[in-house]
């Protein structure tokens, strides 16, 4: 209130002060974290060294081309498992998200329970899932499928929930006031509205799961991640580079096709 | 612009020594033990010692091979890979067995089958690898020396394979290949019946069971204790039989010769083979000690100086 | 000015005599819907054909599920720090958080400037394509590989961990930041461009205040991801952290109790973080709904 | 007939938006509600079909007190009340005909509604309504491609699909150009005349209210400050309705 | 003075939005441009400060042909032309005074602009302008908390901060209630009278155009179909301006 009487200098001063304090606080945290870890910021001056090393060691050579068939097979397998896990996760997540979103769910309590569950699924570290799943399900594609499924459910539930909450509540009300019941409103208003972002989340998740292929490899003993691990651990960097290249090509292909799909289903 | 982590590129003149640890088959070291090692090396050389632990096999190998780290403690297989990358990587010490000499500085890697099935793997009354083809196989992980490299190397030789790649994947040599991620895990795979054949070593399993006969040869029988804890609680009392056994040289402390002077190396050898280290429980802890040591004391266990030559048998079996 | 309705009624269309022919397949008639149904069908088919092939032979699924639940129960109901002291676990947690914090902060700073080169309403098309492809490339290389590369180039330790993890951080944030900038109404940029305001003032006076809420919420999401990465690969780079404890507890000690304790510690950090980022987000939506 | 008696509403936070509001609206009549921003127009309309819960009072619709209905009965009653919004609230990724068909959902089984299984008759009725609001050509266009005036007419057709007895319109023409405004208002007027619908409409434009409405209600600060024949309201009365001070709007 | 000569614009996709448009506007005059949706009103306004590039013609502002200026000169000229939008286009997360100060950015050094370093004088001027548009109390409120009419007045103050010679207003009152409409139009009228600004304004409401404008231009399908004194336009002429068919609007 007292600001209104002034000529505005106080306002700008306060704003600048706040900003300075914020920057100061972040700076202090940065220094603190650096000390905890013994991190030296000057390390960024040596960024080029890593890139050079990567280029020197990981460029696939002619010898590594001998492995391409093996790599291709594993790549396809991995893609299929990623797609399957994501699709199943999408169905589960959609159900959970509808129950958990503020605009479509029954109550705040349910919403928090679902949010908590999703968070739990996402935040158990990969190493933790690996141990739990391997111990019970052993090494096979199914274990990798489950791991991706759990992580994807955690991620997609949250993403879907936020997408649903982004739908203008009035649009939902507009159908409610016609006397339509819950399921009708969901299928006729909510689903069409979120269809586009929903599909792009699913495609993103597939892409992401491919990127996590190293994890799948660890868990399944098959797939591209395992092949990478095999060459990598035996220090055959040429073939390992070829695997990375294959993953890059696949991920970019998926990214491009999801861009393509998104453009075709976009509304504007 | 803060923090003071070293960006030292290594080099003989450097006054810092970087030591890499890879928690591996044997070294279940604890902070205290790592600290003890730091202290002893510092005592020997007067240099600042940085101990870094990595959980990644490649990171450890590349560190020592590139000279970013000057000293490393890693499994025999890791050493051999690092040596292959750079011949400057040389072993200087390993720890001995009961005798206090290299005579028994070994542990054993086995290819085991369930006791009930053991007879099927005999050819002319002797255990043989011949019948393992097409079976379900369990290894530890593809970087484990005794849980993969040694047994796979042996199988490769026995069947004249080009590389061990075929052994590492399902549906090639074996109908199914699984990885227990640890020796315990591999053993459990076998005893639970998920695998027909499994590779694992002796030293990781001693707290869960006992060998019933000569543990150094094929035919060794291993029986799980009646009170074995997790993960063996569901397979208590079960036995397995080794259809092959291989001696593996204990793991070395290695240096990168191009980054550490011979003088320093000799000082370290001298320091670590001294009595005070031998009797230091942080290095060699008695079996039932409260504080975990770097290694377990068994009789006269102590550090013994070695060279690459000592790993010749392993070099051979790995075909390198 | 508006004439009486009676006069206007003639504007009403005449009641139809012929009702247009019904097209019963209207739901499939255009490209957009064909694409949606096509994608859904493709996903469904792939899933239906893949799942039977991954059901493992020789694993009793019911027993395995029971085993999983049993172990989950041990983890969640009987957590204990049996092999390691609670203090060292907490210390490790702080290390992981520090690693996540540094990689997020550095990543956000770098990504902000790169994102300006990748936003459709600010940069030329060729630059966007170049930047976005470069970022896609970085994202496609596994994190562990980045960490390896820098622990060889710089030596083991925090330097390698921070730099290795920052790569993905930057690549991810550039994409989402650029998307947020893209979503800015063209008009609010035009409003200031129309009066001759230059690029950098436009950035601080229009873009920063407008996208700050969404940047913040994305940055928080990345903080969570970076924390997960710090746990997963921090230990590989020799930066230690809670990931190392987890690695030992699960891979070496087979101790579900300790894994449980570690998971709880991790959740104790990530769940409040998520609540904060949720609050940030809802406040942002409220504000921008005006 | 709709009878509102002593309706009051206090929002969380203590804002009193309706104070003791009473009025009557009849079938075949267009009732316009005018008043400055924040007067409570939207609140009043949304109370009538209980999109927001009010504090006290009575809302008698065909003799029933809407405020006391069970959930099931409320749904039933709502299906008789159409609602039109300022921003149309169509499901834009769907086509005109699909949006119009939504108006018939309340009459359908859940499963048929979920799967969009509309009968031939329903489709024909929808097309007829679309034609009535002058959008024949756009029946199979996406709503996102329509102009504001066209969207609003889709909204009206959707309401009509409900076979409503009453229509609540919350500033239906606020975002429209004059031609679309005329078209939409004409349609609403005709519906009152020909189909004997009861139409309640929140408006900002006084001249439009006077042109198209029979009955005029003036709200200011939650209170009814005018209630009478639209044609008879004097300029002074209108001015009084809008008097008040500029306030921070926080919707 | 502004002279537009034979201006034409074809959008990508072949839509001819301006066809050979010529007219003159004078300082101190309010020129209203009316016409149905899609007539090209927005296109015309945006061509004037070259927010969109047109095909051919001349736009003479103070004797200079805006269409032939270098980038640098264009920036210079733009800083003399205020612009007001239907949806205000304020930076809502900032306060009123900050938005108004944006009007002075074109005059400032890059670094001062980046760091929001405004001089005491500028701040005082901004506060004065805020006062002039009647928003003194809201000077330090976030714009997201203001009502539409208030936002539009902030938009006007921002323009004035530019010290403009001309103001282009694209449907500045389309989303406003009658009270705000009156307030905004009165302010614009006063600016023309007192500060001798040249004001071009796109409108939908004919009555408002007639009330506040001196000069009326009717556009239909990209062509000028009326150009004369606002007071003299007959109802028939107005009707002619708006005649045409409903078209799919895809903005
Ligand atoms: N959800 C809400 N919570 C608290 N206060 C509210 C809420 N919705 C509206 N109000 C307040 O109630 C009062 C009446 O609001 P209402 O939206 O009914 O006015 P209105 O006459 O429709 O205004 P407008 O012409 O701007 O649409 C206003 O002062 C408003 O600030
Ligand atoms: N970016 C664009 N690309 C292609 N066509 C456009 C574009 N912008 C406008 N048009 C078309 O140009 C014509 C004139 O549009 P303009 O926006 O100038 O009309 P307007 O008179 O301002 O209409 P309104 O009253 O709806 O704002 C319209 O037919 C429109 O569809
Ligand atoms: Mg309202
Ligand atoms: Mg326009």
Closest chain C C-alpha to E85 CA, distance in angstroms: 8
Closest chain B C-alpha to C205 CA, distance in angstroms: 29
What's the CA gap between B62 and C151, in Å, rounded? 8
pLDDT at A218 (0 to 100): 67
CB pair distance less than 8 Å for C22 and D140: no
Closest to E30 in 3D by CA, of E233, E232, E173, E230 = E230
pLDDT single digits (tens) B75-94: 888 898 899 888 899 999 88
Predicted confidence band at E244 (pLDDT cuts at 50, 70, 90)?
Answer: low
Residue B183 in contact with residue B140, Cβ under 8 Å? Answer: yes
CATH number belonging to domain C83-289:
1.10.3720.10
Closest chain C C-alpha to E91 CA, distance in angstroms: 6
Indicate which residue's Cα is closest to atom 18 of ligand 2. Answer: E40
| Stretch D26-35: mean pLDDT | 93
Closest to B38 in 3D by CA, of B233, B244, B271, B196 = B271
Closest chain D C-alpha to C164 CA, distance in angstroms: 43
Torsion of CA A86, A91, A93, A95, to 10 degrees: 180
pLDDT at D163 (0 to 100): 93
pLDDT single digits (tens) E204-229: 888 889 999 999 999 988 899 999 99
- Tokens for E127? 């506060």
Residue B214 has pLDDT above 50, yes or no: yes
Distance of CA A172 to the CA centre of its chain: 28
- Tokens for D3? 């009878």
Closest chain C C-alpha to D211 CA, distance in angstroms: 6
Closest to C116 in 3D by CA, of C187, C194, C215, C221 = C215
CB pair distance less than 8 Å for C156 and B54: yes
Ligand 1: lining residues by beta carbon, under 6 Å: D 11, 13, 15, 17, 35, 37-43, 250-251
What's the CA gap between B39 and B20, in Å, rounded? 15
Out of E116, E120, E139, the one facing A9 most closely (by C-beta) is E120
Residue D249 has pLDDT above 50, yes or no: no
Indicate which residue's Cα is closest to atom 3 of ligand 1. Answer: D11
Q: What is the ipTM of this complex?
A: 0.81
CB pair distance less than 8 Å for C8 and D134: no
pLDDT at D244 (0 to 100): 57
Out of D134, D179, D205, the one facing E36 most closely (by C-beta) is D179
Q: H/E element holding B107?
A: strand B106-114
Closest to A157 in 3D by CA, of A126, A207, A112 = A112
CA of D23 to the centre of ligand 1 (A): 20
Closest to D24 in 3D by CA, of D51, D47, D40, D4 = D4
Beta strand pairing status for E56-61 and E2-10?
A: antiparallel
pLDDT single digits (tens) B263-291: 888 888 888 888 888 888 888 877 777 77
- Residue A235: how many other CB atoms lie within 10 Å: 17
pLDDT single digits (tens) E82-103: 999 888 899 988 999 999 999 9
CB pair distance less than 8 Å for E102 and C288: no
Q: Give me Rg for the CA atoms of chain E.
A: 18
Angstrom CA distances, A147 to A72, A128, B180, C183, C237, stand at 23, 10, 17, 34, 24
DSSP type of residue C40: H
Tokens 């890499």 -> residue: B20
Mean pLDDT over the full length of chain C: 82
Cis peptide before D70 (omega within 30 of 0): no
* Touching, D vs A (3+ Cβ pairs under 8 A): yes
Residues of D in contact with A189 (CB under 8 A): 91, 102
The atom number, within ligand 1, closest to the CA of D45 reads: 18
Contacting chains of D (3 CB pairs or more, <8 Å) are A, C, E
- Which residues have their alpha-adjacent CB atom under 5 A from ion ligand 3? D 42
Residue C74 burial by Cβ neighbours in a 10 Å radius (0-12, 13-18, 19+): middle
CB pair distance less than 8 Å for E118 and A12: yes
pLDDT single digits (tens) D204-245: 888 899 999 999 999 998 999 999 999 888 888 888 888 754
Chain D interface includes E145 (CB < 8 A): yes
* Touching, C vs B (3+ Cβ pairs under 8 A): yes
Ligand at shortest distance from the CA of D241:
1
From E39, E53, E168, E203, give the residue whose CB has the most ligand 2 atoms within 8 Å, as the site to mutate: E39
**Residues making up chain B, counted from first to last:** 320
Chain A interface includes C212 (CB < 8 A): no
Angstrom CA distances, D36 to A261, C55, D45, D168, E177, stand at 47, 66, 15, 19, 8
pLDDT at A7 (0 to 100): 67
Spell out the residues 6+ positions from residue B103 whose beta carbon is closer than 8 angstroms to its own.
B96, B97
Closest chain B C-alpha to C216 CA, distance in angstroms: 24
| Stretch B65-78: mean pLDDT | 87
C220: left (phi over 0), alpha (psi -120 to 50) or beta: alpha
What's the CA gap between A265 and A197, in Å, rounded? 10
pLDDT at C277 (0 to 100): 79
Ligand at shortest distance from the CA of D41:
1
Residues of A in contact with B189 (CB under 8 A): 138
Task: Report the share of chain C in percent with pLDDT over 70.
Answer: 87
CA of E47 to the centre of ligand 2 (A): 12
Ligand 2: lining residues by beta carbon, under 6 Å: D 177; E 11, 13, 15, 17, 35, 37-43, 250
Out of D83, D90, D114, the one facing A177 most closely (by C-beta) is D83
Spell out the residues 6+ positions from residue A25 whose beta carbon is closer than 8 angstroms to its own.
none
Quickly list DSSP for chain D.
-EEEEEEEEE-TTS-EEEEEEEEEE-TT-EEEEE-STTSSHHHHHHHHTTSS--SEEEEEETTEEGGG--HHHHHHHHTTEEEE-TT----TTSBHHHHHHGGGGGGS-HHHHHTT---HHHHHHHHHHHHHTT-GGGTTSBGGGS-HHHHHHHHHHHHHHT--SEEEEESTTTT--HHHHHHHHHHHHHHHHHH--EEEEE-S-HHHHHHH-SEEEEEETTEEEEEEEGGG--HHHHHHHH-S-------
* Touching, B vs E (3+ Cβ pairs under 8 A): no
* Touching, D vs C (3+ Cβ pairs under 8 A): yes
pLDDT at E116 (0 to 100): 87
Residues of C in contact with B58 (CB under 8 A): 148
pLDDT at B30 (0 to 100): 65
pLDDT single digits (tens) C127-180: 999 998 899 888 878 887 888 888 888 888 888 899 999 999 999 999 999 989
pLDDT at D104 (0 to 100): 93
CA of C179 to the centre of ligand 2 (A): 26
Mean pLDDT over the full length of chain D: 89
Residue C11 has pLDDT above 80, yes or no: no
Domain boundaries, chain C: 83-289
* B281 strand-pairing partners: none
What's the CA gap between A22 and D205, in Å, rounded? 48
pLDDT at D27 (0 to 100): 92
What's the CA gap between A255 and A265, in Å, rounded? 15
Indicate which residue's Cα is closest to atom 9 of ligand 2. Answer: E251
Ranges of chain A whose pLDDT falls below 70: 1-7, 215, 218-219, 267-268
pLDDT at C9 (0 to 100): 34
Spell out the residues 6+ positions from residue B83 whose beta carbon is closer than 8 angstroms to its own.
B89, B90, B254, B308
pLDDT single digits (tens) E140-176: 988 888 888 899 999 999 999 999 999 999 989 887 8
Contacting chains of B (3 CB pairs or more, <8 Å) are A, C
pLDDT at C216 (0 to 100): 87
pLDDT at A6 (0 to 100): 61
What's the CA gap between B138 and B135, in Å, rounded? 10
Closest to B37 in 3D by CA, of B285, B271, B211 = B271
- Which of helix, strand or coil describes residue E157? helix
Quickly list DSSP for A191-222.
HHHHHHHHHHHHHHHHHHHHHTHHHHHHHHS-
Chain E interface includes D182 (CB < 8 A): no
Residue C63 has pLDDT above 90, yes or no: no
Q: Between residues 168 and 197 of chain A, which touch chain D (CB distance below 8 Å)?
A: 168, 170-171, 173-181, 183-184, 186-189, 192-193, 195-196
Angstrom CA distances, E107 to B87, C199, D69, E70, E112, stand at 68, 14, 64, 18, 10
Contacting chains of C (3 CB pairs or more, <8 Å) are A, B, D, E
* E16 strand-pairing partners: E10
Find the closest chain B residue to C249 by CA distance: B28
Chain E interface includes A5 (CB < 8 A): no
- Tokens for B47? 């240099």
pLDDT at B11 (0 to 100): 41
Domain boundaries, chain D: 1-80+165-251, 89-163
Predicted confidence band at B4 (pLDDT cuts at 50, 70, 90)?
Answer: very low
- Tokens for B241? 């039989």
- Tokens for D151? 């969207």
pLDDT at C285 (0 to 100): 54
| Stretch D176-194: mean pLDDT | 89
Residues of A in contact with E127 (CB under 8 A): 7-8
- Architecture label for domain E1-80+165-251: 3-Layer(aba) Sandwich (3.40)
């Amino acid at each position: 209130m007292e600001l209104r009487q002034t000529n505005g200098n106080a306002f700008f001063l306060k704003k600048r002060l706040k900003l300075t304090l914020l920057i100061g606080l972040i700076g202090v945290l940065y220094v603190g974290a650096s000390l905890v870890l013994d991190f030296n910021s000057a390390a960024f001056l040596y960024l080029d060294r890593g890139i050079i090393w990567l280029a020197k060691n990981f460029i696939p050579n002619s010898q590594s081309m001998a492995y391409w068939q093996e790599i291709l097979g594993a790549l396809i397998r991995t893609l299929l498992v990623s797609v399957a896990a994501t699709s199943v996760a999408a169905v589960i997540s959609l159900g959970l998200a509808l129950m958990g979103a503020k605009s479509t769910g029954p109550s705040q309590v349910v919403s928090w329970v679902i949010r908590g569950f999703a968070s739990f699924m996402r935040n158990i570290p990969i190493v933790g899932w690996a141990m739990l799943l391997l111990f019970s399900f052993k090494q096979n594609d199914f274990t990798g499928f489950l791991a991706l499924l759990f992580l994807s459910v955690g991620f997609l539930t949250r993403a879907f929930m936020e997408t649903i909450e982004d739908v203008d509540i009035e649009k939902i009300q507009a159908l409610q006031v016609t006397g339509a019941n819950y399921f009708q409103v969901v299928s006729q208003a909510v689903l069409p509205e979120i269809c586009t972002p929903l599909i792009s989340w699913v495609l993103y998740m597939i892409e992401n799961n491919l990127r996590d292929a190293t994890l799948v490899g660890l868990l399944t003993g098959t797939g591209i991640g395992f092949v990478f691990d095999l060459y990598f651990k035996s220090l055959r960097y040429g073939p390992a580079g070829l695997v990375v290249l294959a993953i890059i090509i696949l991920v970019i292909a998926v990214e491009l096709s999801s861009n393509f799909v998104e453009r075709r289903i976009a509304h504007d | 612009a803060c923090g003071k982590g070293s960006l030292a590129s290594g080099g003989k003149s450097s006054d810092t020594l970087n030591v890499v640890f890879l928690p591996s088959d044997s070294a279940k070291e604890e902070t205290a033990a790592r600290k003890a090692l730091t202290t002893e090396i510092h005592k020997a050389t007067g240099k600042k010692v940085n101990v870094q632990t990595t959980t990644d096999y490649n990171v450890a190998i590349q560190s020592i091979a590139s000279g970013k780290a000057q000293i490393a403690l890693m499994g025999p297989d890791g050493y051999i890979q690092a040596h292959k990358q750079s011949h400057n990587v040389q072993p200087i010490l390993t720890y001995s067995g009961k005798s206090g000499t290299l005579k028994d500085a070994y542990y054993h890697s086995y290819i085991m089958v369930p006791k009930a099935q053991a007879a099927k793997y005999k050819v002319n009354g002797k255990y043989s690898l011949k019948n393992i083809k097409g079976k379900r196989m369990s290894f530890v992980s593809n970087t484990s020396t005794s849980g993969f490299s040694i047994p796979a190397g042996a199988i490769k030789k026995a069947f004249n394979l080009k590389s061990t790649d075929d052994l590492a994947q399902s549906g090639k040599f074996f109908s199914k290949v699984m990885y227990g991620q640890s020796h315990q895990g591999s053993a459990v795979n076998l005893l639970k019946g998920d695998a027909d054949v499994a590779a694992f070593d002796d030293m990781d399993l001693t707290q869960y069971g006992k060998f019933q006969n000569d543990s150094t040869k094929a035919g060794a029988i291993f029986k799980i204790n009646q009170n074995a804890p997790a993960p063996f609680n569901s397979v208590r009392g079960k036995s397995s039989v080794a259809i092959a056994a291989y001696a593996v040289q204990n793991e070395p402390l290695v240096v990168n010769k191009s980054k550490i002077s011979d003088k320093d190396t000799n000082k370290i050898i001298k320091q670590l083979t001294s009595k005070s280290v031998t009797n230091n429980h942080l290095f060699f802890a008695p079996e039932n000690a409260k504080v975990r040591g770097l290694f377990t004391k068994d009789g006269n266990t102590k550090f013994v100086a070695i060279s690459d030559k000592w790993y010749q048998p392993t070099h051979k079996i790995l075909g390198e | 000015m508006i004439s009486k309705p009676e006069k206007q009624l003639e504007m009403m269309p005449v009641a139809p005599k012929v009702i247009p022919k019904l097209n019963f397949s209207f739901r499939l008639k255009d490209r957009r819907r064909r694409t949606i149904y096509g994608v859904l069908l493709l996903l469904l088919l792939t899933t239906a054909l893949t799942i039977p092939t991954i059901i493992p032979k020789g694993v009793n699924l019911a027993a395995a599920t029971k085993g999983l639940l049993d172990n989950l129960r041990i983890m969640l109901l009987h957590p204990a720090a049996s092999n390691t002291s609670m203090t060292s676990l907490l210390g490790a947690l702080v290390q992981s958080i520090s690693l996540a914090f540094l990689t997020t902060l550095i990543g956000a700073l770098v990504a902000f400037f790169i994102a300006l080169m990748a936003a459709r309403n600010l940069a030329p098309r060729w630059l966007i394509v170049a930047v976005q492809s470069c970022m896609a490339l970085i994202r496609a290389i596994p994190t562990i590989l980045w960490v390896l590369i820098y622990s060889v180039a710089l030596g083991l330790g925090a330097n390698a961990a921070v730099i290795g993890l920052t790569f993905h951080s930057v690549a991810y944030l550039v994409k989402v930041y650029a998307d947020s900038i893209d979503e800015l109404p063209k008009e609010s940029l035009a409003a200031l461009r129309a009066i001759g305001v230059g690029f950098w003032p436009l950035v601080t006076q229009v873009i920063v205040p407008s996208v700050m809420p969404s940047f913040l919420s994305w940055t928080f999401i990345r903080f969570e991801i970076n924390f997960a990465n710090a746990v997963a690969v921090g230990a590989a780079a020799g930066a230690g952290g809670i990931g190392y404890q987890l690695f030992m507890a699960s891979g070496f000690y087979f101790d579900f109790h300790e894994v449980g304790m570690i998971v709880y510690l991790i959740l104790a950090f990530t769940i409040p973080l998520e609540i904060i980022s949720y609050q940030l987000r809802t406040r942002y939506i409220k504000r921008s709904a005006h | 007939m709709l009878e509102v008696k002593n309706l009051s509403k206090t929002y969380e936070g203590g804002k009193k938006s309706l104070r003791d509001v009473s009025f009557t609206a009849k079938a075949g009549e267009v009732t316009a509600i005018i008043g400055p921003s924040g007067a409570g127009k939207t609140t009043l309309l949304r109370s009538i079909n209980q999109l927001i819960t009010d504090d006290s009072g009575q809302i008698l619709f065909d003799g029933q007190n809407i405020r006391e209905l069970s959930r099931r009965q409320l749904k039933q009653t709502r299906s008789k009340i159409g609602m039109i919004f300022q921003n149309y609230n169509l499901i834009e990724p769907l086509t005109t005909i699909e949006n119009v068909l939504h108006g018939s959902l309340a009459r359908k089984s859940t499963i048929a509604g979920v799967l969009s299984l509309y009968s031939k008759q329903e489709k024909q009725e929808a097309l007829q309504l679309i034609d009535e609001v002058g959008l024949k050509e756009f029946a199979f266009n996406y709503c996102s491609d329509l102009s504001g005036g066209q969207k609003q007419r889709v909204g009206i057709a959707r309401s009509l699909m409900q076979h409503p007895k009453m229509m609540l319109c919350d500033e239906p023409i606020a975002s429209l150009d004059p031609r679309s405004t005329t078209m939409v208002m004409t349609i609403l007027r005709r519906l009152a005349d020909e189909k004997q619908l009861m139409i309640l409409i929140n408006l900002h434009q006084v001249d439009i209210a006077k042109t198209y409405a029979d009955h005029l209600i003036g709200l200011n600060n939650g209170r009814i400050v005018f209630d009478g024949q639209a044609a008879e309201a004097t300029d002074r009365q209108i001015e009084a309705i809008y008097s008040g001070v500029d306030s921070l709007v926080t919707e």
